[in-house]
Amino acid sequence: MKKIMTIVLALMILLTMVACGNAKEGEPTETGVTTTGTETAPPDTSKETEPTVPALTEPAEDDDHEISAVVKQLFEEFDTALKDQIGTMPEDFADLKVGAVIISLTNPFWSNMKDLYEEAAEDYGIELDVQTGTTEGDTASQLDVLMTMADMDYDVIIVSPIDGSNLIPGIKKCNENGVKVINLGPGVDLEALEEAGAYLDAKITVKFEDQGEIVAKDMMARLPEGGEVAVLAGLAGAAQSEGRSKGFIDTIATDDSFTLSNTINCDWDASLAYDATKDLLLANPELKGIFACNDIMALAAVEALEAAGVSDVYVYGVDFTDEARASIKEAGMTGSMSYSSKKYTAAALQMAVMLNEGQEIAGPVYLPLTLANAENINDLDGWR
């Protein structure tokens, strides 16, 4: 009898141990005991199957950037468009060192571009150095950076100038030193570049006028009766600001029911955009729409409208920053023009490899565009 009782007792203890062992951390077991042990993380096998040269059509998916079906389709369309223009990444290529001169880390767009440059460079196994001037409008310090880099051991330098002419002396120095130069984004004044006896080896950009046109058409569709609209432009002379403004203004002008109240240069600055919006409201109380040439200024416009108690003005920006995404979801901004910075940086580095391998890239490479707005914002998870 004692043996039987001993066996029964042992079985009860064993069953209790199994029940506790199967419980998830923080969940009560059948016996009312809560486990508090540390879970063991699964082994990281992501690098075991990582290809030597990742395809642009296979964006990395991780916990921080879950990609929606819509974004997957957009990425595929972007990849096809880029492949048609520059082909595919060489399977084998020589070691190279790439420099990138961007505009300012105080701007969320360019800060994100730096991160994505570095992410793509790591994927491709490329040595990369990203540099910037002191502030977003400091053309002289940006040139100083490029002049210094031109004398270093870079094979290719990717430049995004503050305005069309400020980096021309640095580009010429790169030419003289045998450093390949790619112009990404804001354009270099090609006529002034030629007059200086300098040249670009390749260019990748977006059609800035198309950005303004797309925004204008979306705004006009929301205002079937027309109305007064305005533009918050960026830095005078900046190609992206001038192109976006022109595309918007030219499109609005096709419909007589719309009136352009004003175009105000706000130098990409939030404070200036906030004050400009307040002035616009005072001068134009019937204002119906604002196109800001970047998200920083658009967010400032939304803030000024909210402070004035105005809720019926449509506000658009450009760049689709995280802050803009949140604002659109919260019914602040109406929309933001976007292009994939992830694809932008990866394609630019592919072009750097191709140039270093002796290939030529004819003509500008254009990145496709998309508009994030109130209707599609929830379908754009994972868009970078």
* Residue 118 confidence (pLDDT) above 90: yes
Do 208-338 and 85-205+341-366 fall under one CATH topology?
yes
pLDDT over 60 (residue 127) = yes
226 vs 23, more confident: 226
Mean pLDDT of all residues in the chain? 85
pLDDT score of 257 more than 60: yes
> What is the per-residue pLDDT for 51?
33
- What architecture (CATH level 2) is domain 208-338? 3-Layer(aba) Sandwich (3.40)
pLDDT tens track for 145-185: 999 999 999 999 999 999 999 999 999 999 999 999 999 99
Where in 215-367 does DSSP place strands (E)? 227-233, 258-265, 287-292, 314-318, 335-338, 365-366
For residue 65, name the pLDDT band (cuts at 50, 70, 90): low
Q: How far is CA 88 from the centre of its chain?
A: 22
Residue 59 has pLDDT above 60, yes or no: no
Measure the CA angle with vertex 87, ends 81 and 91; round to 5°: 135
Q: What percent of the chain has pLDDT over 70?
A: 83
HSE of 181, CA atoms in CB hemisphere, 13 A: 27
Q: Tens digits of per-residue pLDDT, 349-360?
A: 999 999 999 999
Q: What is the pLDDT of residue 91?
A: 87
Q: Does 2 have pLDDT greater than 50?
A: no
pLDDT recorded at residue 339: 87
Domain segments of the chain: what residues? 85-205+341-366, 208-338
- Which of 207-211, 261-265, 329-333, 359-363 is least confident? 359-363
Across the strands, what pairs with 337? 318, 371
Dist. CA 258–CA 298, nearest whole Å: 20
At residue 41, the pLDDT reads 34
User: Please, are residues 258 and 252 in contact by the beta-carbon 8 Å criterion?
Assistant: yes
Quick one: what percent of the chain has pLDDT higher than 90? 71
Give the model confidence (pLDDT) of 284-341 as tens digits. 999 999 999 999 999 999 999 999 999 999 999 999 999 999 999 999 999 999 988 9
Residue 82 CA to residue 371 CA, distance in Å, equals: 19
pTM of the predicted model as reported, rounded to 2 decimal places? 0.77
7 or 69, which is more confident?
69
What is the chain's length? 384
Read off the pLDDT of residues 35-56 as tens digits, 9 standing for 90 and up: 223 233 333 333 333 333 334 4
pLDDT on residue 135: 87
Strand (E) or helix (H) holding 187: none
Q: What is the pLDDT of residue 363?
A: 86
CATH fold group of domain 85-205+341-366: Rossmann fold (3.40.50)
